[in-house]
Amino acid sequence: MFDAMKISASGLTAESLRLDVISNNLANIDTTQTPQGGPYRREFVVFSPVPATLSGADANIGQGVVVSAILQDPSPFKAVYDPTSPLANAQGEVLYPNVNLATEMVDMIEASQAYQANSSAFTASKDMVLKALSIGS
């Protein structure tokens, strides 16, 4: 009875973490030096389905999602020519993070809408459970 709410809740949790990672990317869009050395490297979230049960009433029915990893984007850093910067390399270039504002904004809108959809599904499931409990009263 509560499977739909559990599935929606897993989506809410996953999308919330995705929004946190996107926010972190945006906050570090100009970070040229990190404690690990070099510019900030963009991160992204990877979702995996929760395995379906093989038997019982929920056999072969998806059970939601889980964040399986937060990975770093391997794309190259942006090189900006600025020989006056103390961070410039031998060619006079400063390396900037591989974070693209447009990509992050699109990802943020997508994650926000997915969060809202899961929230609506959770609310609808909750309302159905409450209606079912009121039958016969």
User: Residues 98, 99, 105, CA angle at the centre, nearest 5°?
Assistant: 155
CA distance 126 to 32: 47
Mean pLDDT value across residues 26-35: 95
Beta bridge partners of 21: none
For 68-119, the pLDDT digits (tens) are: 999 999 999 999 999 999 999 999 999 999 999 999 999 999 999 999 999 9
At position 7, the amino acid (one-letter code) is: I
How many residues belong to the chain?
Answer: 137
pLDDT of 32 higher than 90? yes
Q: In whole angstroms, what separates CA 102 from the centre of its chain? A: 16
CA distance 21 to 108: 10
**Tokens 């972190």, residue located:** 24
For 41-76, the pLDDT digits (tens) are: 999 999 999 887 766 666 667 789 999 999 999 999
